Structure 1
Amino acid sequence: LELYMNRVYFGAGAYGVEAAARRYFDKPAAEVSVAEAAMLAGLVQAPSRLAPTRDPQAARDRAALVLAAMTELGFIDETQQATALARPAQLSRPQGPGTANYAADYVMDVLDDFIGAVETDIVVHTTIDLPTQRSAEEALNAELTEQGERFGVGQGALVSMRPDGAVRALVGGRDYSDSQFNRAVAARRQPGSAFKPFVYLAALEQGLTPETIREDRPVQFGNWRPENFSRDYRGPVPLRTALALSLNTVAASLGMEVGPREVVRVAQRLGVASPLQANGSIALGTSEVTPLELTGAFAAFANGGAGVIPYVIRRVETATGEAIYERREGGLGRVIDENAVAMMNAMMHETMIAGTGRRGGLDGWEAGGKTGTSQDFRDAWFVGYTATLVTGVWVGNDDNSPTRRASGGNLPLDVWTRYMKIALANDVPASLPGGGYWRAPEPREAPVAVSGEGSQISGVAGPPPESGWIPPSPQEPGLLGRLFGIY
């Protein structure tokens, strides 16, 4: 029983009764009151659901059942029971949002998948870096405090990982003590234009290039008439400009050109596991995904084309140091041809230089990324990366209510930039993969409006400057499909 109590999960990231007593009541287990002991005992049945940080009333109700059982079995008398019921356990409010508990909960959720049933005390080594985790927490909360009310945004999430999928920071909400729902790994939300890179990658794999011209004009597919955010049209544009400016008409047309099923295949190949609907609107990000899987899919652009499976556990060992599990090198293998990676990075880098992500510049770093805003401004995303770090940010409301025009180019981009400047401080700047094929375009001097999606750049006369990208030889249509087993 003692061994069990020392390792069983009590919710809120607390593993073992000692950790639980300190987490909930800020005292050693030996000093808890009868009411506090009853609440702890009641958590074991369903720690995530009954955690007092998540549902205080459910925790108190369960504690009352424990107190009744203790009285019936003679461990306490009726007077002690009445006193404990009259004065139920009160939580010691933690200092700060405590979002590292989201990461701890995620570790506990996946631990059984690696080691199965645990019969001894164990030590789990994770990929989470605590200073990076704190930076992520502070960036998200600072921006939500400063801008959340203005934009009508109540919640947010952030996931940051190395290009190999090692999760360095995971923030599932703005305050764990208020809500334990882990939006970083469990909330499926519409990504909007942040899904467009999969559409453009599918097009490149069918022989198009960043310089391929497509018409930005009113389009209609059956009863569906996708429009640009700005409700205006730019005429003939190269694909790199269409992606940088997030033109909905071009993305929708490309999606129909390559086929919605192919867009779904590409997204799944890069690691998106949520159910995706292979219809025309998939090109504009109408199928829901989680921040973790979308960020993990973007890692393939940052690392040169290898698909990753995001991971948070490096090693599990016994109390004496004997390895039970140790992560080996692994992933999904190559999922993007190196020429296609170069082209995608060229286009998404232009998004950061002269497109909807222009506010997110990082001095000394080449970065790529994509903004995303769902219908009626219900979700706002920014997923961006350098050669050493990939970070995704989502903001919105838990009840799916519209925000006040929060879009990928404002609040989430500000969170991302604030965090990345700190998180990259000790990294050595490196070029994005494929840099030999392109160079960064010169920033345009025209004013940029980045409050929304789809042709949000105004005041730009004539076509944008050349990026300097040198296209590779055209690839045989369908070659990559055969290479990756997709038909």
Structure 2
Amino acid sequence: MAEEDEDHTGGGQSAANSAMQKIAEREMRIIRRRMRRRRMITIGFCLTLVVGSLFGIMYSIQSNLDLSRNMIRSPQVRILGYDGALLETVEGRYSQDVSLTTIPERVQNVFVAATDPNFFNHMGVSGRDFARIFSGDPGSGSTITMKVARTFFKTKANNAGRHFQEFLVALWLEMKFSKKTILRSYLERSYIGRGIFGITAASRLWYGGPAERITLHQAAVLAAAMSDPVKFDPLLHSSETAAEANDILAKLGQYKFIEKDRVSALTLLEPKLDVQYEEHVVSGYLVDMVLEEVADIVGYSSRDIDVVTSIDLKVQKLAQDVVREVSEIRIKPKGANQTALISISPDGRIRAIIGGANYSPFQRNRATDVRHLPGRMIKIATYYYALNQNSDPAQWVRDNRMAVAGWRPINPDHEYMGQISLREAFVRDVNTVPTTLADHYGLLDVRDYIHAIGVKSPLSTDIRTVVGLDPVTMGEIAAIHTLPQNSGKPAQMTVINRVSYSGTDEAALYQREDLVQEKRLTDEAIQGSYVLYASVTDPQVRLDRPFAGYGTVAGGGSDAWYVGFTSDLTTVVWAGNDDNSRMAVRGDVELASLWRLFMLDAHDGLAIRSMIRASSQRRRENDGVNDLWKRDLNGNN
């Protein structure tokens, strides 16, 4: 009986265990089903996200690409004044007619060897291009295909997202088009410098003929310019560009595009140029300056472009006439072959610019691209710094030959008074006081301040910074002298107000926006600076309104300057020679005369107002005087 009970108990326990196991298995099936469902939902969500992201990227890329190609003519660039007046129409800077059926293959190979010797054997991208997505490398990619991909985007960008887009476009180009088609686009769309895109436009302008007839060395010169349009500009750096072209020809032999024994016969010491350029209504230096900035803003284009500048046509033509006339009559006879002028409004908009007495494409713009020894022109920056600390221009400062950081300053008049007021020091143009002030406040702090108020040129870490022995540009001198007139805020130097495609209602490709600038000169320091300027202003210069101005000769006679300003314009004039040879031009005589002739007529139609009132932001906004240059087409001067 006991055995039967044990069997019954064991059977019941087995049944219970079996039932529990079935329940556990059912629950596990339910759990697995739920987990599979969750995985499917997660995978579906991820796939949807990935597909959506890819579609978003593809749409973003497609909407930002411009694959149009104008085969009729090269687009025009219309350069306009601040008020919409046509200054110049420039044609022929964009290649639209590259055809590989007419350009010899040996010429094509020059560009391949220079940039991407394995172009015909790869997929269009490299590991380096993929790494560039994460590295932030600002370059245009390592292959020709990657460089072409960048040129198809309507707007410029330099970030990981854009680099990834360029990577995808390069792969698409390789799948969609032949290598020859991609190479044609590279030769047509690459920037060569001076606002020129593509080899056919460059060949017409630099060699005076079609690209089909250029020699291998001429092609190598263009390839060098493509790699670095500034460093290898054949018009300004002929020897360096020819040397780089010779290296490219050596690569032709290295990669067996030609026989190695032919390379030496092709090399030259100077590029063979036949530059074609026209006389412009406005200065050629201004046209070149605008075209280079437009090239940076827009890139390659097959559409006409309108560029609204800050230039006043009347003032620009006046500057051209005055500089030409005075240069021929009074300045060249004194031994200075070049004269330049730049005139800006208080906020930094360039109203007129002359880069030299006579325009030549082989010479740099002396107003913006050439650095000159400034002498006393830059000393005012140290006085600004001191006035920010103590706004009294009568404060006493040490005037002796005490050594500072291993330098012993020498005054131009070789006189030392022991103690001297800030105002008297500025009048006498001493070297001891700027040096003493910089030593007292910290030379590096003063140096950083000079950079902050508009001087971008390299400055020394010793007293050369404050006594005018570091070369700077005319534009930088204009910027620091307009500081009081701009309410103590640094000028935002520009020549372009707006860039857009012609004849469309599309959004502007570029619109100048006034940056929020930190005040670098206090109101009290502004008042003190006017005392300094008044003390050096020659009343015999005479304008029909309040003004300040002074001249100097620097570099032992190699550079003559005059700078002056009213409530509306700050104008800098320079004279000298490109080889830095000495001349007899005086800043306070010949250049003061030129400055006066220009400023008298440049202010025609402008209201007369006090410089001190104009320097105050609050007073300027409420004085009831309308700035003539604010009445332009877009409401922005």
The normalised TM-score by structure 1 is 0.69
Summarize the Cα distance change of 1:122–1:228 in structure 2 as closer, same or farther, 3 Å threshold: same
1:262 aligns with 2:442: no
Cα distance, 1:259 vs. partner?
A: 2.7
Q: Which moved more, 1:375-384 or 1:183-192?
A: 375-384
Cα distance, 1:417 vs. partner?
A: 2.0
2:351 to 168, 177, 181: 168
Cα distance, 1:91 vs. partner?
A: 7.2
Cα distance, 1:199 vs. partner?
A: 0.9
The amino acid that maps onto 2:564 is G
2:597 to 418, 422, 434: 418
Q: Name the SS of the counterpart of 2:482 in structure 1.
A: helix
Summarize the Cα distance change of 1:350–1:11 in structure 2 as closer, same or farther, 3 Å threshold: same
Counterparts of 1:239 and 1:140 in 2: how far apart (Å)?
34
**In 2, are the aligned partners of 1:304 and 1:433 still within 8 Å (CA)?**
no
1:244 to 424, 427, 430: 427
The amino acid that maps onto 2:600 is K
The amino acid that maps onto 2:513 is R
Report the counterpart of residue 40 of structure 2 in structure 1. none
Report the counterpart of residue 457 of structure 2 in structure 1. 274
Counterparts of 1:369 and 1:234 in 2: how far apart (Å)?
26
Summarize the Cα distance change of 1:54–1:352 in structure 2 as closer, same or farther, 3 Å threshold: same
1:50-449 alignment, distance < 5 Å: 100-116=283-299, 118=301, 120-177=303-360, 179-214=362-397, 216-221=399-404, 224-233=407-416, 236-319=419-502, 320-322=504-506, 323-330=508-515, 332-353=517-538, 361-401=541-581, 403-433=582-612
Summarize deviations over 1:303-332 as a string: whole Å, max 9, x none: 221212211111111122422222222253
Counterparts of 1:181 and 1:89 in 2: how far apart (Å)?
17
Counterparts of 1:140 and 1:331 in 2: how far apart (Å)?
35
Cα distance, 1:291 vs. partner?
A: 1.1
**In 1, are the aligned partners of 2:567 and 2:610 still within 8 Å (CA)?**
yes
Cα distance, 1:217 vs. partner?
A: 4.6
Cα distance, 1:413 vs. partner?
A: 2.8
**In 2, are the aligned partners of 1:299 and 1:308 still within 8 Å (CA)?**
yes
Cα distance, 1:276 vs. partner?
A: 1.1
Counterparts of 2:607 and 2:400 in 1: how far apart (Å)?
43
Q: Name the SS of the counterpart of 1:183 in structure 2.
A: coil
The amino acid that maps onto 1:243 is F
Summarize the Cα distance change of 1:251–1:106 in structure 2 as closer, same or farther, 3 Å threshold: same
Counterparts of 1:313 and 1:274 in 2: how far apart (Å)?
21
**In 2, are the aligned partners of 1:150 and 1:404 still within 8 Å (CA)?**
no
Counterparts of 2:474 and 2:593 in 1: how far apart (Å)?
17
**In 1, are the aligned partners of 2:396 and 2:420 still within 8 Å (CA)?**
yes
Counterparts of 1:109 and 1:391 in 2: how far apart (Å)?
23
Counterparts of 1:143 and 1:331 in 2: how far apart (Å)?
39
Q: Which moved more, 1:424-433 or 1:157-166?
A: 424-433
Cα distance, 1:131 vs. partner?
A: 2.0
- Percent of aligned pairs with the same amino acid: 29
Report the counterpart of residue 458 of structure 1 in structure 2. none
Instruction: State which structure, 1 or 2, has the greater radius of gyration over its C-alpha atoms.
Output: 2
Summarize deviations over 1:195-231 as a string: whole Å, max 9, x none: 1111111111222511113354555446533333233
Cα distance, 1:390 vs. partner?
A: 1.0
Q: Name the SS of the counterpart of 1:143 in structure 2.
A: helix
Counterparts of 2:486 and 2:597 in 1: how far apart (Å)?
23
Q: Which has the higher contact order (CA 8 A, sep 6+)?
A: 1
Counterparts of 2:597 and 2:509 in 1: how far apart (Å)?
38
**In 1, are the aligned partners of 2:534 and 2:548 still within 8 Å (CA)?**
yes
The amino acid that maps onto 1:5 is S
Counterparts of 2:464 and 2:209 in 1: how far apart (Å)?
57
Q: Name the SS of the counterpart of 2:368 in structure 1.
A: helix
Counterparts of 2:204 and 2:593 in 1: how far apart (Å)?
35
**In 1, are the aligned partners of 2:193 and 2:292 still within 8 Å (CA)?**
no
**In 2, are the aligned partners of 1:158 and 1:184 still within 8 Å (CA)?**
yes
Report the counterpart of residue 95 of structure 2 in structure 1. 5
Cα distance, 1:9 vs. partner?
A: 8.1
- Segments of 5+ residues of structure 1 without an aligned counterpart are 26-31, 63-87, 438-487
Summarize the Cα distance change of 1:395–1:195 in structure 2 as closer, same or farther, 3 Å threshold: same
Counterparts of 2:335 and 2:583 in 1: how far apart (Å)?
5
Report the counterpart of residue 475 of structure 1 in structure 2. none
Summarize the Cα distance change of 1:261–1:430 in structure 2 as closer, same or farther, 3 Å threshold: same
The amino acid that maps onto 2:374 is P
Summarize the Cα distance change of 1:223–1:147 in structure 2 as closer, same or farther, 3 Å threshold: farther
Counterparts of 1:311 and 1:436 in 2: how far apart (Å)?
20
Counterparts of 1:156 and 1:263 in 2: how far apart (Å)?
31
The amino acid that maps onto 1:324 is L
Summarize the Cα distance change of 1:224–1:422 in structure 2 as closer, same or farther, 3 Å threshold: same
Cα distance, 1:404 vs. partner?
A: 2.8
Counterparts of 1:384 and 1:286 in 2: how far apart (Å)?
21
Summarize the Cα distance change of 1:50–1:300 in structure 2 as closer, same or farther, 3 Å threshold: closer
Aligned residues: 395
Cα distance, 1:352 vs. partner?
A: 0.9
Counterparts of 2:520 and 2:443 in 1: how far apart (Å)?
19
Structure showing the higher helix proportion among its residues:
2
**In 2, are the aligned partners of 1:339 and 1:434 still within 8 Å (CA)?**
no
Cα distance, 1:347 vs. partner?
A: 1.3
Q: Name the SS of the counterpart of 1:305 in structure 2.
A: coil
Summarize the Cα distance change of 1:266–1:54 in structure 2 as closer, same or farther, 3 Å threshold: closer
Cα distance, 1:379 vs. partner?
A: 1.7
The amino acid that maps onto 1:238 is S
Q: Name the SS of the counterpart of 1:429 in structure 2.
A: coil
The amino acid that maps onto 1:102 is Y
The normalised TM-score by structure 2 is 0.54
